[in-house]
Amino acid sequence: MGNKKRHNKNGGFTLVEVLVACAILGIALAPILSTFVAVARVNTTSRKKLSATTVAESVIESVKAFELKEFSYQCDQLKTGNASAFKLLAGDLEKGTGFSGGAAELKKNSDGSYTIVSVPSAKLEGGKIVFTPSGTAGTYGYRCYAFLITDIPMGGTTYDAVIDYTYVAEKSETTFTDESGTEQNVNSILQGMQIRSLKYYEVTVRVWKSESGTDSQRLAEYLNKSPLCTLEGTKADYN
């Protein structure tokens, strides 16, 4: 009898067939996996931007709630270690003694960079906050004030906020409208009493994910980095 080769119908795949199948599967899955990765990155970025927006909104509310001198004073209190006096951040961001972030008063330079102000503008004298701009002059004169608040916790991440006050107008309270709708002159009624003037500022709040390093190093990093969120508003403030 001659030798005949027998074919086993129940035989498995050859190594070459398995490798070819794996290659085809890898090519097919690559776009799907890359899509999942891209979606995950987008979701992470979206969460960070949402948290940054929440931080910016909280800072804007603090700007509305406190006069400029109070804002400056509280930033200085936090800088000097008196965290319990820091009440700028509203709602769930207000940490009181538990807030571990920092703050600094800044001078804005003509190239858009910032310098840390060593002598605070706001001080407590006779139980009242006295605001005397110190070191904020620069190119902008006493028309622009800036502050940095660092390591603000939100959504499991910390953020830094830079707040710019830019002076735009001033209006003295020399007249008012009485109940009859008649405009009255304040000077004639108060007879020489001091009239407070109302200053208007454009306020810009920009928020970045916190970087490591000193305040100066962070500010230098943010100068060339787009913020996660920017909010603008107008603040009326008594001088």
| Residue 97 pLDDT | 40
Q: Is residue 187 part of a domain?
A: yes
Low-confidence ranges of the chain (pLDDT < 50): 1, 92, 94-97, 135-141, 189-195
Q: Is residue 124 part of a domain?
A: yes
Q: What are phi and psi of 52, to 5 degrees?
A: -65, -40
Q: Is residue 1 part of a domain?
A: no
Task: List the domain range (segments joined by +) for residue 108.
Answer: 15-238
Q: Is residue 2 part of a domain?
A: no
Q: Is residue 8 part of a domain?
A: no
pLDDT tens string 179-227: 666 665 555 544 444 445 677 888 999 999 999 999 999 999 998 899 9
Q: Is residue 128 part of a domain?
A: yes
Q: Is residue 4 part of a domain?
A: no
| Residue 178 pLDDT | 56
Q: Count how many domains the chain has.
A: 1
Q: Is residue 42 part of a domain?
A: yes
- CA-CA distance, 62 to 147, in Å (whole number)? 13
